[in-house]
A = this chain, B = another copy of it.
Amino acid sequence: MRAGMDTAQQELPAASVAGKVVVSSRIRLARNLHGKAFPGWAGARERQRVFEALSQLLMDEGQLVNPVLFEIDTLDPLEREILRERHLISTELAAGGGGTGCVHDDATGLVAMINEEDHLRLQALRPGLELEGAWQALRRLEAGLERHVAYAFSPTLGYLTACPSNVGTGMRASVMLHLPGLKLLGEVDQVVRGLNRMGFAVRGAFGEGSEASGSLFQVSNQATLGISEDATLQRISGIVQVLVTLEGQARQRLRELPMPRLLDHVGRIFGVFSHAAMLTAGEAMDILSGLMLGIESGMITGADGGSLENMMWTVQPGHLQREARRALSALERDVFRAGYLRGVLSNVQRTGQQ
């Protein structure tokens, strides 16, 4: 099935509750074809040939249940933006250029980008903390393809990639975490510095550092050389468990503080949600994050964590314009977003004291 945007409208599985910390897990493998120039060095005709061959292989691959092929150059800017906002394709791939595209299988959470920086970027996405499941699915996909192609591989270095930072395993595992407690207590930077020293990157999933919109953070490995895939995944799992504990303690401390800090935070969020005439995507995400915290703490009712989490994506510019069914300027989006948020969340209320 070579398709337009209808299929991308399916929502990501929302197994979430308001109080949970781990939003999703993702692993990607960078792979290149033996004997073929990397996409950045290949001519247009060669890139197109690689694209045709790999997209055909992927569409026929038994591991994918209902694969959908997107050829970037056939998509309009809004469609590309929506795929990018869903983190199904990278900003680089969204720019297009002959012979670029992706195959997406919603049922398995598997996505393959073709002719991004490398010939293949195979990805597995899972809700919650499920690196092991993602890894197994990804290995099966990689092995399935390997029955038909040979990957560029060096016995000493491992898998060869366009950028030296990926040589070796070619694997980047990342976990998205919702850390409103640590952020509110101003402890994110301290935690980030500690993890950086251990060789892991922690950054805002949208926006940088302590400014991370929606308090969404992404933890990922930096090293791909000199460490096995299993060891990498094990270390990330360990770090995530520590972060979940720290975040839980932060939320607990916020509830126990001898001041209405949490009440104030959630109250203000609710006030701005109720009365702003314009909202940027970042502000909308911060509101969604605050409402989740409010639901968990019993201050907010009328929404569930899963819908709020899903709206983290639907408030993004591309998704929002699909919702509005027309192109909107940045200003028009901010105005539409404020009304959209209140419309979808019209049952949201503050409990108890005003």
Binding site for B on A (CB under 8 A): 259-261, 263-264, 267-268, 270-278, 331, 335, 338, 342, 350, 354
Asked if A260 and B272 sit within 8 Å, CB to CB, the answer is: no
CA A25 to CA B284, docked complex, whole Å: 43
Chain B residues in 8 Å Cβ range of A277 = 260-261, 263-264, 267
CA A342 to CA B353, docked complex, whole Å: 12
Chain B residues in 8 Å Cβ range of A342 = 354
Asked if A276 and B272 sit within 8 Å, CB to CB, the answer is: no
Chain B residues in 8 Å Cβ range of A260 = 277-278, 335
Chain B residues in 8 Å Cβ range of A275 = 267-268, 270-271, 274, 350, 354
23 pairs across A/B with beta carbons < 8 Å? A259-B331, A259-B335, A260-B277, A260-B278, A260-B335, A261-B277, A263-B277, A264-B276, A264-B277, A264-B278, A267-B275, A268-B276, A270-B275, A271-B272, A271-B273, A271-B274, A271-B276, A272-B272, A274-B274, A274-B275, A274-B354, A275-B350, A342-B354
CA A156 to CA B156, docked complex, whole Å: 92
CA A271 to CA B331, docked complex, whole Å: 21
Binding site secondary structure of chain A: helix
Chain B residues in 8 Å Cβ range of A261 = 277-278
Copies of chain A in the complex? 2
Chain B residues in 8 Å Cβ range of A335 = 259-260
Name the CB-closest residue of B to A269.
B275
Name the CB-closest residue of B to A332.
B259
Chain B residues in 8 Å Cβ range of A267 = 275-277
Chain B residues in 8 Å Cβ range of A274 = 271, 274-275, 354
Q: A259-B278, A259-B335, A264-B278 are in contact. List 13 more A-B contacts (CB 8 A).
A: A259-B331, A260-B335, A261-B277, A264-B276, A267-B276, A268-B271, A268-B272, A270-B275, A271-B271, A271-B275, A274-B274, A274-B275, A274-B354
CA A276 to CA B335, docked complex, whole Å: 24
CA A268 to CA B269, docked complex, whole Å: 10
Chain B residues in 8 Å Cβ range of A259 = 278, 331, 335
CA A268 to CA B276, docked complex, whole Å: 5
Chain B residues in 8 Å Cβ range of A338 = 264
Name the CB-closest residue of B to A342.
B354
Measured between C-beta atoms, what is the minimum distance from A254 to chain B in Å?
Answer: 12
Measured between C-beta atoms, what is the minimum distance from A274 to chain B in Å?
Answer: 5
CA A90 to CA B339, docked complex, whole Å: 48
Name the CB-closest residue of B to A257.
B331
A263, A274, A275, A277 interface centre (most CB from chain B within 10 Å): A275
Chain B residues in 8 Å Cβ range of A271 = 268, 270-276
CA A226 to CA B71, docked complex, whole Å: 78
CA A104 to CA B274, docked complex, whole Å: 46
Measured between C-beta atoms, what is the minimum distance from A278 to chain B in Å?
Answer: 5
